[in-house]
Structures are given as structure tokens and as C-alpha cells.
Amino acid sequence: MISEKANIEIEQVSESRLAEADLDNPGFGRIFADHMFEMEYRDGSWHSPTIKPYGTIEVEPALKVFHYGQSVFEGTKAYYVGDDTVNLFRPEKNIERMTQSCRRICIPPVPPDLFLQAIEQLIKLDHRWVPQKEGNALYIRPFASAFEPVIAASSADVFRFYIITSPVGSYYSKPVKLLADQHHVRAARGGTGATKTAGNYAASLYPVQQAKDKGFDQVLWLDAIEHKYVEEVGTMNIFFLIDDLLVTPKLSGTILPGVTRDSVIQLARHWDVEVEERAVSIDEVMEAGKQGKLREAFGTGTAAVVAPVNTISYNGETVTIHEEERGALGQRLYDEIYGIQTGKKEDPFGWIYPVTVHS
């Protein structure tokens, strides 16, 4: 079967695996829907866009992606609205960011129209995999990687682009404990910190493991030059409510320009909350915490939407914020964004891309 718009060839599964999946308790990123999208770049262009059954791929061990990490990815979600509609949230932002990520590490970007159609087709086919339970969603993971089997540290000239999808539950069930790392660095100016390249995540694994061993959930990254300014957290951007001011590190090329971050800033400003995007020193945060002025801290990202932070430790000192629950602003932002995503609240910013599906 060939789809008219983008000539995506579709090979459907003969039997769905849906009956084996527990969509109410899927965990995160562990089970995958029936189909995946696949396309190859060769001889100077992307070709043969195909949707096929999700499954193993056979590759050569010499692929450049294994050795030099030439790989980028994205993450967005599809939300159940009703039996005939699934919502995507600002998918064009993810597509635009993936284009930037691709450019930074010499992967030819996927044409944006085709990218969006691929997601849409996949969602139409696998819409029954979108969980209906409150807080759960179908995570969409596009990625592009170097598929040329040559041992040479240079850009590949063969790539593959995939989209896989995974029913997921909520990412952080409890408030998050952060350790501001004084030694390790996630990204430096001029590096790849503003892109979703695989290597950024590989570099963070060891420091995060060390923080976990000490009882923390995540590292709060500081800047690479002075180890003084707050950057971001694992897979989230970070916000602090100091008195009545919402502050977040500005986009300076070392942190990821989060889609949720941008949505939080727009919403807060819409509600007349004063928002500052600027350099935020860890000393300012700790001082505000000690003086009782740090009313809230939360991370923002596709996985958790808004995740409350209740502990920040730095240089042997710890400040505690909201021991058990979310702060009022974080909760309001979560309710609003999740409400918009699931079609329960109005969408004044035009963030929703609805996909009509047929049962």
C-alpha cells in the first residue's frame, strides 16, 4: 500500500502485539508499538520511506554510529483525546530542533514535511497503542544515525532515519533530588550542548551514576568555564521561583532549547508572572533557598512535563523546597500544559496538532 502524500510504503504487521502490552503500567521506553518508520540516505538523498513492523535490524559492526557516535534523536509524545483523535504537541519544534542537531554533526536533515507525515502515518496506524490512562502517553522517538560501515573518524555518507514509538507512564513519580556537580561538565560553548546528539547523553552517564550512588536522582549541571552558573538537569530544563520571579538559564548554546521550557515561559508570561531568562548562579539559588525565598524549583521536559525539585545540594550544603508535593505554580503549569495536550483545556497558542484516527 502506498500513501498518496509522501509515498510512504506501508507494510503492516500480520498480527498486533497490543494484547500483550499493559498500557496502564508500561514503564518508560521498554515496550514498542507494532510499527516503525525507516528511511535511508544514500547517494546524496533520503529515499525509500517505509513503515514496517517494529523489530530487529541487522547491521555490520563497522557502522560509524557505533564508533564515532554520529547520531541524533528527538522525543515528543502523542496524547489520547478520544477514539477518533490523538494530539501531538508542537511537533514542528522537535522537527526544527532535529534539523539543527543534524546540521551540527553532519547528518543530512530529514525534509520537515516528510518527517511530520511519517509521524502522522505511524500514529494513525498505531493509535490503539496510545494509552488512555491519565498521565500516560505514546512517546515518539525519531533518530538518525551514521550507517556507513567504515572505520574512519569522518562523517558517513550513508545514514538511516527511524521513528519508533513506545507507550509510557510518568517519568518521575516523586519530587526530584538534585546534586549540583562541581567537577564534571555536560557541555561547553561551541560544543554540542544545544543539540540532541547521542554523545551528550553518553558523557553524562558517569556523573549521573555517581550522583545516584549518593542518593540523588539527577545532576544539576553547572557551566563549563566557571562551574558557577546553572545550566540544566539530565533531560530537563530548570526553573526557579525566587520570591515572585520565575528565573531560568538563558539559551546560550550549551543547554537544550526545550519545547516544554518555551511553553512554560509563554504560559507564565501570559499569566503575568515575571519571567527572566538570564545567567543564574548556583550561589544565588542556594542563598535564596537558605533565606526561604526559593519558593519553587522544577524541571521541564517532554517526559515529565513539569517535575518538582525538592532538594538541591551543592558544595556540601543542601536546600529543601516543598518536601512532598508540587509547588502551586509548577502544579498550575503542569495542569495547563497537560490539559492542552490532552484536549481538556483550550489551546490559545495553537500548540496542538490533532491527528484524526479511525477505529
Window 214-233: residues binding ligand PLP (CB under 6 A): 232
Q: Closer to ligand PLP at the Cβ: 118 or 219?
A: 219
Q: How far is the CB of 299 from ligand PLP (least distance, A)?
A: 8
User: Residue 108's closest CA among 61, 152, 166, 46?
Assistant: 46
- For the stretch 265-271, contacts whose Cβ atoms lie closer than 8 Å and that sit 24 or more positions apart, written own/partner, are 266/349, 267/333, 267/336, 267/337, 268/329, 268/333, 270/348, 271/332
Give exposure, 237-267, as e/b (b: 16+ Cβ within 10 Å).
Answer: bbbbbbeeebbbbeeeebbbebbbbbbbbeb
Rg (CA), the chain: 21
CA 325 to chain centre: 23
Least distance to ligand PLP from the beta carbon of 353, Å?
15
* Binds ligand PLP by CB under 6 A, chosen from 256, 268, 297, 333: 256
**Which residue, 75 or 199, is less far from ligand PLP as judged by CB?**
75
Interface with ligand PLP by CB under 6 A: which range of 288-296, 298-306, 315-323, 349-357? 298-306
Find the shortest distance in angstroms from Cβ 76 to ligand PLP: 8
125 binds ligand PLP (CB under 6 A): no
- Window 7-46: contact mask with ligand PLP (x via CB under 6 A): ----------------------------------------
Rounded distance between C-alpha atoms, residue 137 and residue 244, angstroms: 33
- Please report how close the Cβ of residue 284 comes to ligand PLP at its closest, in angstroms: 21
Given 53, 75, 111, 354, the residue binding ligand PLP (CB under 6 A): 75
Q: Which stretch binds ligand PLP (CB under 6 A): 26-34, 47-55, 110-118, 259-267?
A: 259-267
> What H or E segment, with its residue span, contains residue 210?
helix 198-213
Burial level of 57, CB count in 10 A (0-12/13-18/19+)?
A: exposed
The residues in 260-279 that bind ligand PLP, with binding defined as CB under 6 A, are 260-261
Of 101, 145, 195, 237, the one binding ligand PLP by CB under 6 A: 237
- Using the rule CB under 6 A, is 208 a contact of ligand PLP? no
Q: Does 302 bind ligand PLP (CB under 6 A)?
A: yes
The least distance separating ligand PLP from the CB of residue 302, rounded to whole angstroms, comes to 3
* 110 DSSP 8-state letter: P
Cell numbers of 24, please? 496502564
Q: Which residue is listed with cell 535564596?
A: 288
Q: Provide φ and ψ at 118, rounded to 5°.
A: -65, -45
Q: Which of 87, 145, 166, 235 binds ligand PLP (CB under 6 A)?
A: 235
- For the CB of residue 255, give the shortest distance to ligand PLP in the complex, in Å: 6
According to DSSP, residue 2 is labeled: B
Cα 165 from Cα 123, distance rounded (Å): 9
DSSP readout, 62-93? TBHHHHH--EEE--EEEEEEETTEEEEESHHH
Rounded-to-integer distance, Cα 232 and Cα 258, Å = 10
Instruction: Pick one of 259, 280, 333, 340: the residue that binds ligand PLP (CB under 6 A).
Output: 259
Contact between 236 and ligand PLP per CB under 6 A: yes
Contact stretch for ligand PLP (CB under 6 A) within 47-55, 286-294, 297-305, 343-351: 297-305
Residue 199 as a binder of ligand PLP (CB under 6 A): the answer is no
Q: Which residues pair with 72 in a beta bridge?
A: 144, 197
Q: Which of 163, 167, 138 is nearest to 79 (CA)?
A: 138
The reply to whether 166 sits near ligand PLP by the rule CB under 6 A is no
Minimum distance from residue 301 beta carbon to ligand PLP (Å): 3
Q: Binders of ligand PLP: how many residues, by CB under 6 A?
A: 13
Best CA proximity match to 237, nearest among 307, 335, 331 = 307
Does residue 91 touch ligand PLP according to CB under 6 A?
Answer: no
What residues pair up with 41 in beta bridges, in sequence order?
46, 159
Confirm or reject binding of residue 101 to ligand PLP (CB under 6 A): no
Residues in contact with ligand PLP by CB under 6 A are 75, 232, 235-237, 256, 258-261, 300-302
